Every structure is written in structure tokens, then in C-alpha cells.
Structure 1
Amino acid sequence: MRSPSKQPESPDSPSPRSALSAGSPSTAATQPQRLRCCEKFSHSPYRLTISQEYWEMNPAERFTVLSSIGDECMCEEGLLQLLKRKATPICCIWFQPTPEMKIEQGIMKTIHVNRMIKAGFQVKILMADWFAQRKSKIDTLDKARTIGLYNIEMWKAAGMDLHKVELLWLSDELNHHAPDYWPIAMDVARKTTMDEMIRTCGLEMYEPEVIPASEFFYPYIQVSAILCRKVDIWLLNVDHRDICMLAIDYCKDIKGENKPTILLHNTLPSLLKDPGFRNKANRGRTIFMEDEGEFLELKIRSAFCPPKVAGNPCLAYIEYVIFPWFGKFEVAQKEENGRNKTFASMQELIASYENGVIDCADVKLAFEKAINNILQPVRDYFRGNDEARALINALKGQMKMNRTKGQDTSG
């Protein structure tokens, strides 16, 4: 395989290990090692080109694709053996429909899915519409399904290869395979205490009397889904780590032979200065797929971008979204700083940032331009597609009706 410096990168090609985290690239691609449970992936210094078809990839190269997506692996030690044994491994991706789709859920998900398809994986996305009803504003399954269809249109607009993806709905799964799902969910519930469940759901900060009981359905059914679906690999974000551990521990408890192989990918940090500030009403915390114009400009200009690399959310967005999408990062520097500069790797960008070659203002201007270039085809798709536009209007009307009901209730 060729060196990264000689290959263009694309949304479908794997990126090297996080440059914001400590450690140097390993030779995992050329000499893959079995992974221990919860082991961090050591990303290969090599990348796969977009034109490289899956039938040309050996198990080591497929391992590289997985390591470019997942930052952590929860699995048995036989992952490489699985890749050697099975020509078309099945990967299932968990997704809960959301009316406000973040760029992480739209663009990063598109990058991950397209990479796996190119590597020869059979990809399925499980739309967890049944869980969306936990939210007070999404009180019916029809509303949850509408939101899920909107999310699918977003992926289509972003360029996800949906023709090669099987879309499943959790509500259908529960209806058609109830004898498989509910006994496991009930058994997990029997073996879990309330204290353990509060920690698993990340609800320790709340008083028990304010926690909606609906929250406790989530881990039981998700564990059941992870164990019932006949797939080789699951892909979820790191926020689901505790629930994934619950699934693995349950398998150990019942002495199950087929423990799930689970990849966890990173989430994007808050753009706000205080990382502990979790007010979801503040839309400045992240970038949404529908952001544009002056609002997007203000959001990025106001983003926290300290002179140091550690804890810098702007650099995290550049690493996990912009570099995987374009394969480079172009900075238009101020006139007094010299010519424009194109960075071919995250390591190169970090070195220039730490040395003062580029500063916070340079990074933010380039960050804003790159995000606009990524999102512009999405905007054009919805403006030029009557069905997609009607779906958004229906969703907005649905959300407006919910807000009106809430105001009437409070009054």
C-alpha cells in the first residue's frame, strides 16, 4: 500500500489514529493483533484509496478500515479470525431518530458507512424509532417514524450509499420478533439493580424522583437488540459504552458463547468553552445539519479555540469531519502571515498551530469555509427536492404543534 502523502483522501477512506491523542501509529495494518476487550485501536499509518474495491482487501486491510472508524473495541479475541473466515461481515449501526440532526450524526455517520461498504461489509442501520418516544415531544410512533425518514433523507443528501444499506426499524423488530427480544430484556432487568441502571443510563446527577421511568427501558431493549440481531459487528458511539458493557457482562453471566463484537467511535466535543455545560437549549454547543448563513458563522466565530491543542474542540471537528471528508485542510492566512497553506495531515496542522504559524483566527476561518462546503450540497438537495422539502415541513409542523401543546399545558 502507498504512503498517505501520495494518496488523496475521501469520505470513504480511513484516517490515521487521532492526532489529538497520545501515541504513535502502530503497524496494526500489516501485522494485526487480536484485540482485548475494550482495547484502544492503534490506527495504521496507511490508508485505503476510494477506488480500492472490497474484493482486493485482505483481512488485515479490513482490520485497518475498522480501526479508522472505531476508537475502541469491545470484542472477543477473534476479530481478525472473523475477518478471515467471513467474506462479507455484517455490521449493524445503532441510530436513534432525532429531529435536530448534528453534523456528527449526518456527516460522520456517512463517512463511517461508506468506508465499511467500500471495505466489503454488509451494512445495516437499526433505526431505534421505538426509543424516540421516550421524549415528551415525540409521543407517538408515527412521529418517531417521520423523524427517522427525515434523518434518512439527510444521509441521502450527504452522499451515503444507501442503495447498499439495509434500513431496519426497531418497532418492526419488536413486533415481528417479540419472543426473541422481550425474554432477554426481562432477564437483563432481573439481573440489574436500580443503582446499576442509573449509572448505566448516566443519570447519577439527577434525583430519582425527577427521572422519567421511560429512561430505564432503553438499556434493557438495547442490550436485547444487540444480542438478538444476527450480525458480526455493532457500531455505536462511546456514549453507549456502559450499555455495551452491560451486554457483555450479561453474556458472561449466562455463559453465552457468542459475545457481541462492538466498535465504539468518538463523539464530537461541545464548541462551548465550558465542557461541563450541558444545556441542550444552547444551540452553540454543536453544528447541526441545517445550520447556515450568519448563524453558522457566529457559532464558529464564538467557538472555544484555545492556543493549546488539548481540549480544543475546533481541532477535533477538523480531525474527525474535515480531514476525513476532504483529505486536507486549507487555511487562507492573513496577508501579513504569507501565502495560503494546505495541510495534508492532522499532525502537520497541529505542528503549525503549536508553533504559531497559524493562529485561532486562521483556524476558525478555514473551519467555517470547510463546513459550509460540506453542508452546501445538503442544502441544495433539500431546496431542489420536493419530497424532501415536504418531509422537513411536516417535521417542523409536528414540532411546532408539540411546542404549542406544551405552552397550553403550562398555562
Structure 2
Amino acid sequence: MEMGFDEKFALLRSIAEECICEDELRVLLKKKPNPICYVWFEPTSMMGIEQGIMKTIYVNKMVRAGCTVKILIADWFLQRNPRFTCNLNKIQAIIRYNIMMWKAVGMHLDKVEIIWFSDELNHHAVDYWPLAMDVSRKYTMKRMASYCKYVEPYGPGILPAAQIIYPCMLVSAVLCHKADIWLFSMDLRDIVMLTRDYCEDTNRGNIPTIFLPSVLPNLLENPEFQNRRNPGRTIFMLDDEDDIEEKISCAFCPSRVVACNPCLEYIKSVVLPWFGKFEVVQKEGNGSNKTYSSMKELIADYESGDLDSFDVKLALGKAINDILELVSEFFRSNEEAQAQIVPHRLQDEIGADIQKIQLQNEEMSGHVASTCQGISDLTFPSLSPTTEVATGGAADEKGAAHVRGRRPTGGEERCADTGGGRRG
């Protein structure tokens, strides 16, 4: 049975924390029951659950709502990363790995069209480049640089010019495609608003509705003081059961505090949308087990103290492991999927010019860091992102047999007391 207007609107609106042009969305769905929805995706060599699980949830909701869904793979933009330079073969290998992850968690890829931005740019350069040039003429260098100030690995100081091109081309990509709805993430909000500003400044009509889902918070307390390469900051699609248990136990989860509590955000954005419920097995003497179907119920119990942070962490870890077990099973039983992960080693191609920029930013930030260490930290993970990459081939053979079975080696920092978590 075809979904009614109110149900369809509610389903689509549930995707985004913020919906730009929400009124236009209502009008759109009344006029066009099957809108064209584009999903922006930038390939990643360390796929987190935000890009794997949450992206799958959003795309499947769009498919259920009857939308024509197209995922625009922003492969061309990945050349900004100094590891890849202009090696599109290396980038495409990463994309195949990303697509395998979506298959593993059940994205309806048979009902989705995947578009490669590099192909689009080659075939429609006459549309993209003049528009990107016009955007660059309309706004200042200072404004463009403001969108790039947190881009790794350059830091807050000196940016290569490649980063300045990015906002102009992203605006061009949004406007060149005949999309009714665009799905981005909240961390791209400023550039998305540049798109809206450009349309208003040039009297350009037909601004698409834009969905901006929330971004998962850093699991660590005081993330601004943490190393951004610390794998404990988030959960990756290839983390094994022990990885997840350790990360959740070390996560910041203060008792009775809801605001800025990353564990509760994970429940809200990942567990409840996936399962439709959150099951807590409370420790002995702390009441009976309970199942929550909404954040409102959970927050009420958590703020009152009826729900302990220790129990929340145990239940959250189990829920995420249950989801990622799908990934584990998929890769164990699929040789083609294993082939997308095990053999890949990104050879460092960071030239002297990029190293100079990195060193200048480290000096400006007051950090004394080893460039060699920084480069080694960027190595593509063959198995678990928290596992050191071996130089020999033995790790590849072992990894193919047991994708999520490896554990980190010694020397790791142990978690501090972060609200109900275990120590040591």
C-alpha cells in the first residue's frame, strides 16, 4: 500500500536534525510523490558507524518513502587528501570497501543509483566549472577559508589552495544536479548555507530541500584536548567485540546528566532507529530489566537515577555489537568482501610541500610532533582500526580468516573513570 502524505513527510523529516526549506518539502511531496533525493558521500578509509549504519538508516527510509535515491560518491574531492594525490585507482578501491560495508548492513542498494562525481565532472564539465567559478567570484577568500579551518591534517593555520576550491565545487555539485532533496551531514552545514546564500544573491530559484542529520559526538570526555587520531573517539565498522566493549566502557557517560552525554546520543541516533527499542539488563539489586521505545522514557529514568550509567554502557555495547555482527558475518562468508579490505595498504605519498605545511601548523599550534609518526597514523586499516598494521604478509592471511577477531597490541592507554565505566 502506498504511503500517505503525512506518514511520508514524518518518515523523511525524521532523517534530519535540521531541514532547510522544510515548508518547501511539504509542497514538494504534494506535487511530486516520488522526489529525487541525492545523498552526498565522501569516501573514507576508516569507515565509522555514522557513515556505515546511520547512512544506511537514512537511505532505507528514503527508499521506503518512495524516493528515487542517488548516492553521489565525491571521489574527485578525495584528491585533496595528500595520501591519495591524483590516484583515482586508490580512491576507487576505498569506495568499493565503503559500498561493501553498506551491503553488509543491509542498505537497499538494488534500489539506489550510485553516481561517481569524477565521471559527472568529465561528462558535464561545461556545467560544473563555470558555476564553481561564479561562486568563487562572489565571495571572499576569507569566507572560503573559514569553511576549511578544521580540515585535517593541515590544522588551523595554513591551508593548501586545494581546500579553497572545495566549497565552490560543492555548491556547484548541489546546483548542477536536478535534485529535489539533498542529504548532507551537520558538519557541512556552513557550506550548505553558502549554497542557499548564493541562490539568493543570484536570484536563482528551485533551491532543493536539504536534510542535515546530527553528527555523532566524540565518545571521550573533553574531546578538544584529545588526539583526533585516537581510535577511542568513535566506533568503526570493523571494530571487533572487544574493541567496542573497551571504547564504550571508556566513554564519557556521567550519571544523571543528559546534556552532552555521548552514550545517550549513540542510543538516540543509532540504536533506537535501528531496533526501534533499547533493551537494558539492569544489574542485580537495581530493579528489573526494562525496554525503552523512546528517548523521552529513557531520559526520564536516567535523570532520576533509576537507570545507571553502567547499565546504559553495557546495553549500548551489546546493541552496537549486535548490529556489527552482521558486518562480521558478511565478511567471514564473502571472499569478494574480504578482498576489498585485506590487501590494501595506502602507500604514503605525502610530499615535501605537504610536510612543510604540517610542520608549520604544528609550530603554530605549539605542538612538537614527529612527521613520520603522523604519516604512519594515516595508514589504511586492514582489519580493525585500533590494530597496528603489520609490515609482513602473515597478518593478511590471519585477517582474511577472522576479520573482526584481532585485538590491539600492548602499550595502549587505559581508560579513566568516565562515569560508570570499568577501569584497567
Regarding TM over 0.5, the answer is: yes
Aligned match of 2:331 = 382
Of the candidates 282, 287, 293, which is equivalent to residue 235 of structure 2?
287
Of the candidates 270, 280, 283, which is equivalent to residue 334 of structure 1?
283
Aligned match of 2:25 = 79
Q: In structure 2, do the counterparts of structure 1 residues 125 and 381 end up closer, same or farther at CA, with 3 Å as the change threshold?
A: same
Counterpart AA for 1:187: D
Asked whether the 8 Å contact 2:82–2:350 carries over to 1, the reply is: no
Of the candidates 202, 210, 213, which is equivalent to residue 265 of structure 1?
213
1:358 aligns with 2:304: no
1:93 counterpart SS class: strand
Of the candidates 184, 189, 194, which is equivalent to residue 131 of structure 2?
184
Aligned match of 2:177 = 229
Of the candidates 81, 92, 114, which is equivalent to residue 145 of structure 1?
92
1:230 counterpart SS class: coil
| Distance (whole Å) between structure 2 residues aligned to residue 404 and residue 200 of structure 1 | 23
Question: What is the CA deviation profile of residues 226-252 of structure 1, one whole-angstrom value per residue up to 9, with x for unaligned ones?
Answer: 000011000111111111111111111
Asked whether the 8 Å contact 1:95–1:128 carries over to 2, the reply is: yes
Q: In structure 2, do the counterparts of structure 1 residues 92 and 410 end up closer, same or farther at CA, with 3 Å as the change threshold?
A: closer
| Distance (whole Å) between structure 2 residues aligned to residue 377 and residue 207 of structure 1 | 36
Unmatched 5+ residue regions in structure 1?
A: 1-52
Q: In structure 2, do the counterparts of structure 1 residues 410 and 282 end up closer, same or farther at CA, with 3 Å as the change threshold?
A: closer
Counterpart AA for 2:261: N
Unmatched 5+ residue regions in structure 2?
A: 352-370, 377-424
- 1:298-377 equivalent positions in 2, closer than 5 A: 298-307=246-255, 308-377=257-326
Q: 1:359 offset after TM fit, Å?
A: 0.8
Asked whether the 8 Å contact 2:104–2:327 carries over to 1, the reply is: yes
Q: 1:78 offset after TM fit, Å?
A: 2.6
Q: In structure 2, do the counterparts of structure 1 residues 179 and 403 end up closer, same or farther at CA, with 3 Å as the change threshold?
A: closer
Asked whether the 8 Å contact 1:198–1:204 carries over to 2, the reply is: no
Q: In structure 2, do the counterparts of structure 1 residues 186 and 378 end up closer, same or farther at CA, with 3 Å as the change threshold?
A: same
Aligned match of 1:24 = none
| Distance (whole Å) between structure 2 residues aligned to residue 297 and residue 214 of structure 1 | 39
Q: 1:364 offset after TM fit, Å?
A: 0.5
1:210 aligns with 2:210: no
| Distance (whole Å) between structure 2 residues aligned to residue 208 and residue 323 of structure 1 | 36
Asked whether the 8 Å contact 1:269–1:275 carries over to 2, the reply is: no
Aligned match of 2:41 = 95
Q: 1:280 offset after TM fit, Å?
A: 2.3
Q: 1:66 offset after TM fit, Å?
A: 1.8
Q: 1:409 offset after TM fit, Å?
A: 12
Q: In structure 2, do the counterparts of structure 1 residues 263 and 283 end up closer, same or farther at CA, with 3 Å as the change threshold?
A: same
Aligned match of 1:134 = 80
| Distance (whole Å) between structure 2 residues aligned to residue 208 and residue 103 of structure 1 | 27
2:224 counterpart SS class: coil
Q: 1:76 offset after TM fit, Å?
A: 7.1
| Distance (whole Å) between structure 2 residues aligned to residue 110 and residue 409 of structure 1 | 32
Question: What is the CA deviation profile of residues 172-203 of structure 1, one whole-angstrom value per residue up to 9, with x for unaligned ones?
Answer: 01001000100000110111111111222344
Q: In structure 2, do the counterparts of structure 1 residues 223 and 409 end up closer, same or farther at CA, with 3 Å as the change threshold?
A: closer
| Distance (whole Å) between structure 2 residues aligned to residue 173 and residue 279 of structure 1 | 37
Aligned match of 1:174 = 121
TM (norm. structure 1) is 0.82
Of the candidates 182, 187, 191, which is equivalent to residue 239 of structure 1?
187
Q: In structure 2, do the counterparts of structure 1 residues 169 and 207 end up closer, same or farther at CA, with 3 Å as the change threshold?
A: closer
| Distance (whole Å) between structure 1 residues aligned to residue 155 and residue 288 of structure 2 | 56
Aligned match of 1:154 = 101
Asked whether the 8 Å contact 2:73–2:115 carries over to 1, the reply is: yes
Q: In structure 2, do the counterparts of structure 1 residues 403 and 357 end up closer, same or farther at CA, with 3 Å as the change threshold?
A: farther
Asked whether the 8 Å contact 2:83–2:350 carries over to 1, the reply is: no
Counterpart AA for 2:299: I
Question: What is the CA deviation profile of residues 263-304 of structure 1, one whole-angstrom value per residue up to 9, with x for unaligned ones?
Answer: 111010000101424632101111110111322211110000
1:334 counterpart SS class: coil
Of the candidates 50, 53, 57, which is equivalent to residue 107 of structure 1?
53
